[in-house]
Amino acid sequence: MEYFLQQLINGLTLGSVYGLIAIGYTMVYGIIGMINFAHGDIFMVGAFVALISFILFALTSIALPIVLLLTLLIAMVFTACYGWTVEKLAYKPLRKSFRLAPLISALGMSIVLQNYVQAAQGARIKTLQPVIQGGFNFFEDSNFTVTLSYLQIFIVIVTIVLMAIFTLFITRTALGRAQRACEQDRTMTALMGINVDRTISMTFIIGSSLASVAGMMFVMYYGVIDFYIGFLAGIKAFTAAVLGGIGSIPGAMLGGLLIGLIETFWSGYISIEYKDIAAFSTLVIVLIFFPTGFLGKPDIEKV
């Protein structure tokens, strides 16, 4: 029971990180019908920006909550610029080209980002001293103590807040409405007087800034990163997006949590060595039995 609870806490924390990345996959898929293969690397860039920001702030005497907030903002802004650039370079020029072309150029962007970070930051792993320490301990007199760290609470709360803001944005604002319209019919959206190119760019910018927050959480949680972390995390988040139903935003959030839970429970109860296989087996099983994912959209088109 105590052990189970601990896995649950760890799984929800990890799931928050995957969920934030998965939103970017699902939004871009929703709006242009393509998987952004560079999204995992955008997450990695976010982790590096956050790391650099933490290291610089460590030289100052600014209070921790302000450091966290500033790092969050810095990571979001810088990473959003990268996401915007990926869209401008890899997708926009090829929008009228054959379908595979932008996928190939996005794969290219993924490699460019990895090599760029490798060249600029070095290939060796980077470490970050714990930024938030301590936590609550439960069941201390039993033979397994359950820990809920302040960092885990921070990660889950930031994720919930961001997802709430994001949901309001999508459902209540003009830009969110334009994005939902683009998902259905880009030509018609343009005929509403909406700048579709700008709407698509905004989608990349928002997806990237959410991924950067995931990157910040990741570097805080694990304390080590390298230029290659985007690959595995990206594929798992993509699995999460498919699991939830690609194109569905609540689906991405749910899928992220599920993948996080599956991964931690697998490591906790079966084998830590094969934890990555757990996520991918899930992907295969979902694709076979629920090809549209759990919250995939049933169309209610009527002619």
**What is the contact surface with other proteins in residues (CB under 8 A)?**
174, 177-178, 180-181, 184-185, 187-196, 297, 299-303
Min dist CB 303 to other proteins, Å, is 8
Residue nearer to other proteins on the CB measure, 191 or 224: 191
- C-beta separation of 26 from 247 below 8 A: yes
Min dist CB 270 to other proteins, Å, is 40
* Eight-state DSSP code of residue 246: T
Residue nearer to other proteins on the CB measure, 107 or 192: 192
Min dist CB 148 to other proteins, Å, is 40
150: its two tokens? 């302040």
Residue nearer to other proteins on the CB measure, 49 or 196: 196
Q: Give backbone dihedrals phi and psi of 284, rounded to 5 degrees, phi first.
A: -65, -45
- C-beta separation of 255 from 249 below 8 A: no
Which sign, positive or negative, has the C-alpha torsion 16, 21, 26, 28?
A: positive
Min dist CB 202 to other proteins, Å, is 14
**Residue 85: Cβ-neighbour burial (10 angstroms; 0-12, 13-18, 19+):** middle
Residue nearer to other proteins on the CB measure, 129 or 187: 187
Element (H, E) at 139: none
Nearest alpha-carbon partner for 267 in 18, 6, 47: 6
Residue nearer to other proteins on the CB measure, 194 or 213: 194
Min dist CB 190 to other proteins, Å, is 4
Residue nearer to other proteins on the CB measure, 180 or 275: 180
Min dist CB 175 to other proteins, Å, is 10
**Interacting residues of 241 by C-beta distance below 8 A, sequence separation 6+:** 22, 23, 25, 26, 29, 251, 252, 255, 293
